[in-house]
Amino acid sequence: MPFSRFKRGYKNIKRLRQIINILIKYGFEYYVEQLGLMNLITKGGKIFKPKYSKIDQVPIPVRARLALEELGPTFVKLGQILSTRADIIPLEYIKELEKLQDKVPPFSYVQVEQMVQKSLGANVSELFYSFEEKPFAAASLGQVHKAILKVDKVKVVVKVQRPDIEEIIETDLDILFHLARLIEKYIPVSRLYDPVGVAEEFARIIRMELDYGTEGRNAERFRKNFKEDKTVYIPKVYWELSSKRILTMEYIEGIKINHLKELDEAGYDRKKIAENGAKAFMKQMLIDGFFHADPHPGNILVMENELIGFVDFGMIGKIDEETREKYVDLFMAILEHDSNKILTRMLNLGITSKGEIDTRSLKRDIADLLDQYYDKALNEIKLGAFISQLVQISVKHHIKMPAELALLGKSLLIIEGIGLTLDPDFNLTETAKPYVKDIILERKSPQRLLLKLSNDLSEFYNLMVLIPKQLSNTLRKMEEGIFKLELQHRGLENLINALDKATNRLSYSLILVAIIIGSSLIMQTEKGPQFMGFPVIGVIGFLISGILGLGLVIMILRSGKM
């Protein structure tokens, strides 16, 4: 066990150095210095600083994307997930991060066979009637092969995880957590966006994507949710041929939803396709609270009779019932063009800020946003664009938005874009209205009101029972002298570091003064070995004090603060 920890630590340091060199290569040396990591690339006391004459001319968002691509699969995934976080990432970065591609060549068929044997306990030939050696899709985490089952000769797709990818990602996650903690420590403004929290959320998402069983369960849940819907098709999961690293699903044939020429040649009604797709998404968002968070055209197929087929269920958004109702309230406030209500609904969504919110300025920005839609009819409001702009306003005012709202806004934008491509008269707001109306009517039903009243009374009763007990425990601890009050400081790290440096310099100076005084006293004794008529110990003392004094002067000059 100690050896394995040592081995992992060595690999982490080696990988961290590689990451630092790539960051410097793309012009992010300032941030490396801010985090105190320049010492990791020192050699013989000299810092290696590669010079790239043209890199400074490249826009920073482009440099960030190029760096992430060169850093490999984990960081490409990080960039792709961050591109959905308009609540913490500026728009110009999001547009660039959306271009991130998994530039990873497919792994060999021999390795595919080994993964199948290891995960499913049998050879490919024993499990499948046929299995295409060449993958038809490859990404950073795995690749997909077409196959045919032995039973009923059903066409399937088999997703096979890349060998050793889990170990690579865990190493990178260790480093990401280390970097996130350093960012919080040395870059105070970053704390508003909770870098460690973002790293934890990313780790949770990518570990879920590594478990193909999770993706299979997501597909099963979608299949159950749309069981009675005749306009949507979700492929079947073959669990007997699936595991944590292998996922076998039904192969569905269709035309990609943005291949307009093929759709027209097949005689499909584009208007109906747009309507079916939008209704499917509204159901996911407002009724099920479980939506496809990566609805790009490659993941949506059009089948016979304008049937919408969804594929790839690795990235999923979840909204609980209470939050869904708050989104509906926000949606209604948007439709009413009421800036006061929009502000109130935003705060009701649980938006938090570490500082005071300038509500007056925030309300003015919301009013300015509404003015853009003042003379427009309801069917001209672009819901996805509006929510994305609302998220950007919150970023401007340093307000922390719920992550799922930014993800939802991006998904709405994609759906709106696809709908408008299919049908120039498409409007997502009109599609959403019936669902919103049903939710509002359901809220006012006697059964729902009685249930809410019952829950509220139950919570009130529990609170009344709990308060006296907690108060009694607190008073007892105070009487026994074991009551403890914890205080946490925030934003004082720079002051503490400055005080530490000042204390160290003061101690250094006192030692220096002591050596000088001691050497002066020895020089007056004229005892012991002599050098040019002076005591040797006194001469050595003055030499040491001279060197230490020179060192102190150099430190002060290098700090730039006299």
DSSP state of 162: P
8 Å CB contact between 73 and 104: yes
Given 294, 312, 329, 365, the catalytic residue: 294
Quick one: which of 227, 231, 232, 235 has its CA closest to 251? 235
**What distance in Å separates the CA atoms of residue 372 and residue 171, rounded to the nearest whole number?**
48
Is 320 marked active-site?
no
Quick one: which of 97, 293, 84 has its CA closest to 198? 84
* DSSP SS3 for 449: helix
**What distance in Å separates the CA atoms of residue 215 and residue 499, rounded to the nearest whole number?**
52
DSSP state of 354: S
Return the H-helix or E-strand segment holding 558.
Answer: helix 536-559
Length of the chain: 562
Max Cα distance, the chain (Å): 111
Where do runs of H (alpha helix) occur along 100-210?
109-120, 124-127, 165-186, 195-210
**What does the block give as tokens for 79?**
């960039």
**What distance in Å separates the CA atoms of residue 517 and residue 345, rounded to the nearest whole number?**
72
**What distance in Å separates the CA atoms of residue 359 and residue 190, rounded to the nearest whole number?**
22
8 Å CB contact between 378 and 430: yes
8 Å CB contact between 27 and 55: yes
Q: Which residues are catalytic?
A: 294
